[in-house]
Amino acid sequence: MNISSRASGSVQVVTVGEDVTQETVRDFTTFLDRLVDGGTAAVVLDLARVLYLTSRGLGAIISTYTVLRKRGGNLVLMQCQPEVRRLLELTRLERILEVAQSEAEALAKLAR
């Protein structure tokens, strides 16, 4: 799967470079699990290139969010495409997960 991360201060900015499908969801989940297991407390998940997200992929995001919140951290989604936005609305997760349009906005949300 095309996925990478980089540090922006104490925040890990994760760029997902393709759809999260049945074929790629395991790699996606493993990547997020390793970040969390490595002690990361704050994550920006850049979904600009993601047009499709499986339910298992959404589950991985929720799981990561839950672990981070328990540790006093947080997760912010960034640059969600309309298809992903609709999924968040249908599942009502837009009420729980924060969404930002830019990295600067995402980092500001995490700084609160």
Based on the structure, what is the number of domains in the chain?
1
Residue 67 belongs to a domain: yes
Residue 65 belongs to a domain: yes
Check which CATH number belongs to the domain holding 97 and give it. Answer: 3.30.750.24
pLDDT over 90 (residue 3): yes
Q: Which residues contact 69 (CB under 8 A, 6 or more apart)?
A: none
Residue 9 belongs to a domain: no
Q: Over the stretch 18-72, which tens digit does the pLDDT of each residue have? A: 999 999 999 999 999 999 999 999 999 999 999 999 999 999 999 999 999 999 9
Q: Domain span at residue 54?
A: 22-77+92-102
| pLDDT in the model for residue 34 | 97
Question: pTM of this prediction?
Answer: 0.95
Where does 1-112 show beta strands of DSSP type E? Answer: 3-8, 11-16, 42-46, 74-78, 98-100
Q: Which residues contact 60 (CB under 8 A, 6 or more apart)?
A: 25, 28, 29, 32, 33
